[in-house]
Amino acid sequence: MGEVKLFFGPNHPGMHGNFSVHMYVEGDTVVKARPLPGFLHRGFEKLMERRLWYQNLALIPRICVPEPDINEVVYALAVEKLANVEVPERAQWIRMIVLELARIAVHLMSMAGIGGPLGLYTGPYWGIADRDRILDIFENLSGARIYHMYIVPGGVRKDMTPKVQEMIVKFLDYLEGRLPEFENLIFKNRIVQTRLRGIALLDRETALEMGVTGIGLRATGVPYDIRKVDPYLYYDKVDFEVPTATEGDAFSRVYLKFREIPQSIKIIRQCLERMPEGKVNVPISEGNALRFRVPKGSVYVHVEASRGEYGYYVVSDGGEKPYRIVVRGASYPQTLYGIEKYLPGTRIEDVPIWLDTMGVCAPEVDR
């Protein structure tokens, strides 16, 4: 039997977002794979150059749909660094709460995501339903469920009310009770273990060479987490652990996500406790938002997203719009280089698992 060219995506239930892979298969085994990005290309980076500093807030969350807040934080941190603005303490704690809630939301969604390629559809139902509770919190906090546009340069747009804090505490209690059930359903599941363990291996040297970060790297035993190696916000003031594994397979990656949830809960509880009262916003520049100007300079700011190191390189020429912004998508290396390098040799049915656990995210490539 000869080589068959197989088009996988962009419209396929096992595909993550608007992304496509062209695979040459022999039998069930992939011989050659070529990633095909571009279906989601909206020119985010170029669009940002044509919008005012403040207007960009409506655009940047769209670079990552499941976890839009990292974009807001990275952008805000970069602009604040350029403008040399001291952000009120309360705002920083609120930002951390938002980021960790978003991290939990993404991880819950990946509990759902792994159900798809495995055919375990209870996972998606549970994951999405519990994630919705986080979206309810976001709705009460920021006024929107998905694109919050809440974290702005200079702070956050509105204060966190006691009602929202109560909601968060209630949710965290609820989630802690739910975690064993997730473990029972997914990770102790015989089928999941059989299908995921030893599949989609990534070794440490290649991961480092390609620039894979986040869970992908931590699953090979490297405790690389921006929150620890280059703390932003107040991550150096809170107590939490970075779980790692040594297997580097699909199972360890998914399970690491799961093990990060209790750590995030721990961080949020500390934030709620230590958050002082006070202002949540300072203007980044003189004048009104139409005339905000950011001093000349360039800066690279990175945070730990659920998929790895996520960064913006922002250049300002001192004007009312950014001169240039480059987005370092967390999944960029594994999406473009990883697919070419690692998919050959994989069986077709394992390809979605590889893509899912490596956190392939089309807009981060197409930004």
Partner 1 sequence: MANNTIPKKEFFAPIKAWKYMFRKPVTIKVPYVKREAAERYRGFHVNDWNECIGCATCAKICPTDAIKMVEVDDLPHEYGKKPQRPVIDYGRCSFCAMCVDICTTGSLKMTREYIHISPKPEDFVFAPTEKGIHGVDEVPIGWVRDDDSDLLELERVEMEMIEGEERAKSFIEYVKGYSKEKAMHEAARCVECALCTDRCPQHMQIPEYIKAIWKDDLKDALRWLLKGDESNNMLGANPFSAVCGRVCTHRCEEACSIGNRGEAIAIRWLKRYIVDNVPEYEKVLDDIKPAKKDKKVAIVGSGPAGLSAAYFLATMGYEVEVFEALSKPGGVMRYGIPSYRLPDEALDKDISFIQALGVKIHVGVSVGKEIPLQKLKEQFDAVFVSTGFTLGRSTNVPGTEHEDVIQALPLLREIRDYLRGEGPKPKIPKSLVVIGGGNVAMDVARSMARLQNMEYGSVDVKVTCLERNYEEMPADMEEIEEGLEEGVKFYPGWGPVRIIIDDDKVKGVELKKCVEVFDENKRFNPKFDEEQKLYLDADMVVEAIGQAPDYSYLPEELKEKLEFVRGRILTNEYRQTSIEWLFAGGDIVNGPDIIHGVADGYWAARGIDEFLTKGGK
Q: By CB under 8 A, what part of segment 169-188 binds partner 1?
A: 181, 183-188
214 lies in the site for partner 1, by CB under 8 A: no
**Cβ distance to partner 1 smaller for residue 38 or 143:** 143
CB 85 within 8 A of CB 242: no
Minimum CB separation from partner 1 for residue 110, in Å?
17
Q: Is 9 left (phi over 0), alpha (psi -120 to 50) or beta?
A: left
Is 240 a binder of partner 1 (CB under 8 A)? no
Of 149, 199, 201, 208, the one binding partner 1 by CB under 8 A: 149
299: tokens are 């800066």
Residue type, 33: A
Min dist CB 46 to partner 1, Å, is: 15
Residues 98-137 that bind partner 1 (CB under 8 A): 122, 129, 136
- C-alpha–C-alpha distance, residues 215 and 224, integer Å: 9
Compute how many other C-beta atoms are within 10 angstroms of the C-beta atom of residue 319: 12
Distances (CA, A) of 147 to 83, 161, 256: 25, 19, 26
Segment near partner 1 (CB under 8 A); pick from 70-78, 100-108, 251-259, 303-311? 251-259
How many residues bind partner 1 (CB under 8 A)? The answer is 57
CB of 166 vs partner 1, minimal distance in Å? 14
- Interface region with partner 1, contact rule CB under 8 A, candidates 32-40, 207-215, 246-254, 340-348: 246-254
Of the candidates 18, 29, 140, 206, which one interacts with partner 1 according to CB under 8 A? 140
Q: Does 323 bind partner 1 (CB under 8 A)?
A: no
List Cβ neighbours of 156 (8 Å cut-off, separation of 6 or more): 91, 94, 95, 98, 150, 280, 281
Residue with Cβ nearer partner 1 (231 or 283): 283
Angle at 119 between CA 113 and CA 123, to 5 degrees: 50
- Residue 8 vs 182, nearer CB to partner 1: 182
Q: Does 245 bind partner 1 (CB under 8 A)?
A: yes
Taking the C-alpha atoms of residue 360 and residue 334, their distance in angstroms, rounded to an integer, is: 7
- Based on CB atoms, which residue is closest to partner 1, 256 or 353? 256
Is residue 316 near partner 1 by the rule CB under 8 A?
Answer: no
Q: Give the rounded distance of the alpha carbon of 150 from its chain centre.
A: 17
Spell out the residues 6+ positions from residue 314 whose beta carbon is closer than 8 angstroms to its own.
75, 78, 79, 82, 298, 299, 300, 301, 322, 324, 325
Residue 260-299 contact track with partner 1, rule CB under 8 A, x = bound: -------------------xxx-x-xxxxxxx-x------
Q: How far apart are CA 146 and CA 237, in angstroms?
A: 28
Q: Which residues pair with 328 in a beta bridge?
A: 311
Which residues bind to partner 1, rule: CB under 8 A? 51-52, 54-59, 122, 129, 136, 139-144, 147, 149, 155-159, 181, 183-190, 193-194, 243-247, 251-252, 255-256, 259, 279-281, 283, 285-291, 293
